[in-house]
Amino acid sequence: MGNQDAPLTTEALIKEVCRRIRVARSYWDAHNNAACRGERDRASTLYNTLSKEQKEQIPQVLRVWLRYRSEKYFGVHRTPPKSARKSK
């Protein structure tokens, strides 16, 4: 196992962002929204640390998926997870 505390190199960071987006997509396809949200948040956090040139190395399909899901399904205008529901 690798050392999880060591900072990632540029190439490793790009691979990790791609991996996390793919994992989030697989959770999305499996209708596991809570896990998808967590992985998407981690991927988004790592993605936002990249420079513009590094972001362009991420496949466009993954970038579009991350942006689309982030805005449409997980944006601030959406109901937060585990909201209190009124029982009848």
Asked if residues 58 and 17 have their Cβ atoms less than 8 Å apart, the reply is: yes
Tens-binned pLDDT, residue by residue, of the chain (88 aa): 444 555 678 889 999 999 999 999 999 999 888 888 889 989 999 999 999 999 999 999 999 998 887 666 666 666 666 655 665 5
Contacts of 50 (CB under 8 A, 6+ apart): 13, 14, 17, 58
Model pTM score: 0.73
Per-residue burial over 6-22, b if 16 or more Cβ lie within 10 Å, else e, is eeeeeeebbeebbebbb
